[in-house]
Amino acid sequence: MVTDESGRPLGQGMAGGSNHLRVGIELATRNVERAVNIALVEAGIAIRQIEYAYCGIAGSDHPQHHEKVVEALSVFFPGGNFVVDTDARIALTGAVGFGAGVVIISGTGSVAFGRNLQGGEGRAGGWGPTLGDEGSGYAIARDGLSAIVRAFDGRSQETAMTDLLCREYLMCQPADLPRFVYATTTHADDIARFGRLVMEAASKGDPVAVSILEHAGRELGECVLAVARKLEMTGEEFPVAYVGGAFHAGEPLIDPMRRTINAEAPKAMLTQPLRTPVEGAAMMAIRAAQSPRPARQRESHEHSSLTGGEQP
């Protein structure tokens, strides 16, 4: 998203994934460049006219990974007027602004990120599909597919998800699943798409699917509570904004999450995000441009002289 200094959107662009741990650094960088270029074209703005850029990118929080992403993007932002940060922080800013609160993200992966009134920050989750991502779209889909093969074996009760798998994915024999699931070309995103089988079955009252979403909701609630404990917020009033495709499941996922959170943090209020994560990134870019870091002051001054200081 390209905005002016007041936050008014001028152009938007979308491309593929930017988590280099999943798609590789070259493709991740190309995707970021493509999305930015689409937004620039729509806005009628050249990259040299950008006063500041804030990039919230999954997989960039570890110092080594962060350095790799910064190095890759520095070719695209040669003026050095950009920040690479975790996607969780821009989601938090977009969801609750610059004040206190927690955002819980459940897309392909899951993570909670929060900020207290003193400005302290904390996170929980975000460990990826092998070590964690409980309550994520991937975890919901994995549990759904597992329930299908367990029912096929006779190890658990029948589920409507079996018929949905046949009708919507043309996999009418659960024995067809391993060939897809374990293929070298199959990634976590591909598995996560099967989460809608669970959501659709749960909406029709399938008890197996309902229990999967119940479990996922509790896991997400525990993730929020872990952050609230770290920030000593459990006794305070604060918003909990939920972001990500998994929440399309609605109340079957949200209600158990709410109950889990309120059992320990009774004043926490579940809410829709105020703005999108990319709007959060734009808000942080505007703030960074207004208060650049000392090492970048000279660069920003020189850049302003080229653009008249009034560019987005």
Joined tokens for residue 195: 């989460």
Given a cut of 60, whether residue 1 has pLDDT beyond it is yes
User: 125-130 long-range CB contacts below 8 Å, 24 or more apart?
Assistant: 125/223, 125/226, 126/61, 126/88, 128/21, 128/188, 129/188, 129/191
Domains of the chain: 2-94+276-307 (3.30.420.40), 100-271 (3.30.420.40)
Question: How many C-beta atoms surround the C-beta of residue 87 within 10 A?
Answer: 27
Q: State the Cα–Cα distance between residues 262 and 141, nearest whole angstrom.
A: 26
pLDDT tens-place string over residues 205-239: 999 999 999 999 999 999 999 999 999 999 999 99
Report the DSSP beta bridge partners of residue 123: 113
- The pLDDT assigned to 228 comes to 96
The gap from C-alpha 33 to its chain's centroid, in whole angstroms, comes to 19
SS3 235: coil
pLDDT tens-place string over residues 103-162: 999 988 899 999 999 999 999 998 888 888 899 999 999 999 999 999 988 898 999 999
Q: Where are the alpha helices (DSSP H) in the chain?
A: 20-23, 25-43, 63-73, 87-96, 128-131, 137-153, 161-169, 177-181, 188-192, 195-203, 207-230, 251-264, 277-290, 297-307
Question: How many C-beta atoms surround the C-beta of residue 67 within 10 A?
Answer: 12
Q: State the Cα–Cα distance between residues 242 and 201, nearest whole angstrom.
A: 22
Given a cut of 80, whether residue 61 has pLDDT beyond it is no
Per-residue pLDDT, averaged over 159-182, amounts to 86
Contact 212, 199 (CB under 8 A): no
Considering only residues 69 and 191, tell me which one the structure prediction assigns the higher pLDDT. Answer: 191
- Which range has highest mean pLDDT (28-37, 172-181, 265-274, 285-294)? 265-274
Looking at the chain, the whole-number percentage of residues with pLDDT higher than 70 is: 93
Of 45-54, 217-226, 250-259, 301-310, the least confident:
301-310
Per-residue pLDDT, averaged over 13-36, amounts to 82
Contact 274, 69 (CB under 8 A): no
- The pLDDT assigned to 300 comes to 36
Given a cut of 60, whether residue 305 has pLDDT beyond it is no
**312 falls in which pLDDT band (50, 70, 90)?**
very low
Given a cut of 80, whether residue 264 has pLDDT beyond it is yes
pTM of the entire predicted model: 0.81
- The pLDDT assigned to 293 comes to 54
